[in-house]
Chains A and B, each alone.
Chain A
Amino acid sequence: MMPLLITKGLSRNFGGLRAVDNVDFTLMPGEIRAVIGPNGAGKTTFVSLVSGRIQPSSGMIVFDGADITSQPAYVRVRLGIAYTFQLTSVYANLSVYANVALPAQLTLRHGPSKSAIQAAVMAALERTGLADQAAMPAGQLSYGHQRLLEVAMGLALKPRLLILDEPTQGLADGEIDNFITLVREIAKNATVLLIEHNMPVVMHLADRITVFNAGKILAEGAPEAIRENAAVQEAYLGTAP
């Protein structure tokens, strides 16, 4: 099977700091991959490079067999790479409906009617359980619901690769359980790349785990193997199990 995403020698410098350092990474279609690592390990920079929010200093990104290194972010989104933000950045002044209509109308480029958009929007809202709040301004949603709206916006893009950047941060326990169910559901027709600090969530969800430290990949493998890995434990020294 051909990998969905490959990075080769991917690097990004900020001044003298190598935030991402020569990373070779491969992601197979259908996987749920978790990316973990201590703060400042370069996780968010790495997924920002993949999504095109920032440009690499060197290296190459291949998505579905095509070199996308020099493609701007919006083209990558259209190719199927959706990115949900670490800090909630929904359109606070627009209705929940409008927030999701924006990505939904993009994926219905071929003769989208108002009813087709509406159907797509409501489908994404149903899946995330936000259908009742469709008319509400997004800024008035609770924090947890805003995070779900982020996911709904990502879903409405009908992505092949959905990147979730710390999606459970700030969620209550009950909300986290629902979230795990939702991600499993999404993974049936999309590949998921997940940055996450919450280890139980990672252990529950991930097929494979990639550990970042100091801009490099420290280890990669199945959840059990990573849990046993001595180097990983050292990198996390005192910060997590």
Chain B
Amino acid sequence: MSEASPARAYASHLGVMALLFVLSFLLPEYYHGLLARIMVLAVFAMGYNILFGYVGLLSLGHAMFFGAGLYGAGLAVIQLGWSVPSAFLGGIGCGAVLALAIGLLALRTTGVAFMIVTMMFAQVFYLVILYFATWTGGDQGMVVPQPARVLTFGATALDLTNPTVRYMTALALFSLVLLITLAIVRSRYGRVLVAIRENEERTKMLGYDTFSNKLAAVVVSGAICAASGAAYALLFGYVGSSFASVQYSILPLLWVLLGGAATTLGPLIGTLFMYYVIDITSGYTSAYLLIVGIALILLVLFFPKGILGSIRQRWLGWLP
């Protein structure tokens, strides 16, 4: 019973954060940069996991929420000259509003129709970015200039292009979202979400407005994915339409499946593992989509619970 072991759950999560902190001083430059990127993308996966893992809603369109954050923050800085913090919040806001609108429409459908509808809305979002190329840079994308990526607090200035600052900012965002996820999962609200996943009809008959609960989950999930996108734009300085393409809707699904759906640390492990595999194999082949494809099929066939999900089932029942 997960209720019994909050201390162990929190300790293990703090341990992971501490490990990531220490790694910042140990890793060689290339892996240092890669891990910062992975942490930001793991936030994307964590946002996806809230909806897919805990509510059981399989969306094929989450690239639009990542894209909303990415373009929301990027355009705010480039076209409107906003400061970094307001652009970041603006990006999250874009994602949350978009998620609310999409949720209101897409949640009228279930199952396969939900998957297709979310994919189509994401496709519309992607095409809209291409269509308004004058502002968005079309398929070329845009670079966020270095001077615009500096955080100033009075006299001190944090340059987000500095590797250490970038790594620590990514870690801070990752840790915050990890703790938020953990809090949601362990809350009464988290219990309702899992109940909806397990049996929606029954949950209605226990007095829960399942539609509103699902809608809230879509918005939270969308906002977290948008936070990841906004951070990506500000930390890595590139805003491109490929991040809104269907491939970036599939990737978080893959990461979450690989790491373990409905586990709080699974998204990080999945993202890390996938990048590691691609990194190793890129020495032999450039065909990384082949690996993505094979991984997807092997996962659904043999490890539907993913890495952490299987570990939890066999050994560590207390893992949240």
Contact = CB atoms under 8 A, between A and B. Distances in A.
A94 B205 contact: no
A85 B209 contact: no
A190 to B, nearest CB: 15
B205 A102 contact: no
Contacts of A83: 205
B206 A77 contact: yes
Contacts of A73: 204-205
B203 interface: yes
Interface stretch (B128-136, B168-176, B190-198, B221-229): B190-198
B201 interface: yes
Nearest to B194: A94
Interface in B181-216: 188, 191-192, 194-195, 198-199, 201-210
Interface residues of B, number: 19
Nearest to A92: B198
Contacts of A106: 206-208
Given A94-B194, A95-B1, A74 B207 contact: yes
Nearest to A118: B3
Contact of B206 (A94, A97, A102): A102
B205 A85 contact: yes
A18 to B, nearest CB: 24
B191 A74 contact: no
Contact of B210 (A74, A85, A112): A74
A102 B3 CA distance: 13
A4 to B, nearest CB: 18
Contact of A103 (B198, B199, B207, B209): B207
A128 interface: no
Contacts of A169: none
Which secondary structure characterizes the binding site on chain B? helix
A106 B207 CA distance: 7
B188 A105 contact: yes
B205 A91 contact: no
B5 to A, nearest CB: 12
Interface in B215-268: none
A89 interface: yes
A94 B206 CA distance: 15
A102 B192 contact: yes
A102 B191 contact: yes
Contacts of B207: 74, 77-78, 103, 106, 157
Q: What class of interface size applies to chain A in its complex with B?
A: 20 to 34
Interface string B264-279: 0000000000000000
A6 to B, nearest CB: 22
Interface string A115-139: 0010000000000000000110000
With most chain A CB atoms within 10 A of its CB, the pick from B1, B192, B201, B205 is B205
A117 B202 CA distance: 20
B195 A102 contact: yes
A133 to B, nearest CB: 11
A51 B1 contact: no
B188 A74 contact: no
Contacts of A203: none
A129 B206 CA distance: 21
A85 B195 CA distance: 16
A134 B2 CA distance: 12
A135 B188 CA distance: 17
A101 interface: yes
A112 to B, nearest CB: 8
A105 B1 contact: no
B312 to A, nearest CB: 13
Contacts of B198: 91-94
Contacts of A89: 199, 201-202
Given A94-B198, A106-B207, A153-B206, A101 B1 contact: no
A53 interface: yes
A105 B203 CA distance: 13
B285 to A, nearest CB: 40
B224 to A, nearest CB: 24
A114 to B, nearest CB: 8
Contacts of B208: 74, 102, 106
Contact of A134 (B1, B206, B209): B1
A182 interface: no
10 smallest A-B Cβ distances: which pairs?
A: A77-B207, A91-B198, A135-B1, A103-B206, A105-B188, A106-B207, A78-B207, A74-B209, A89-B202, A73-B204
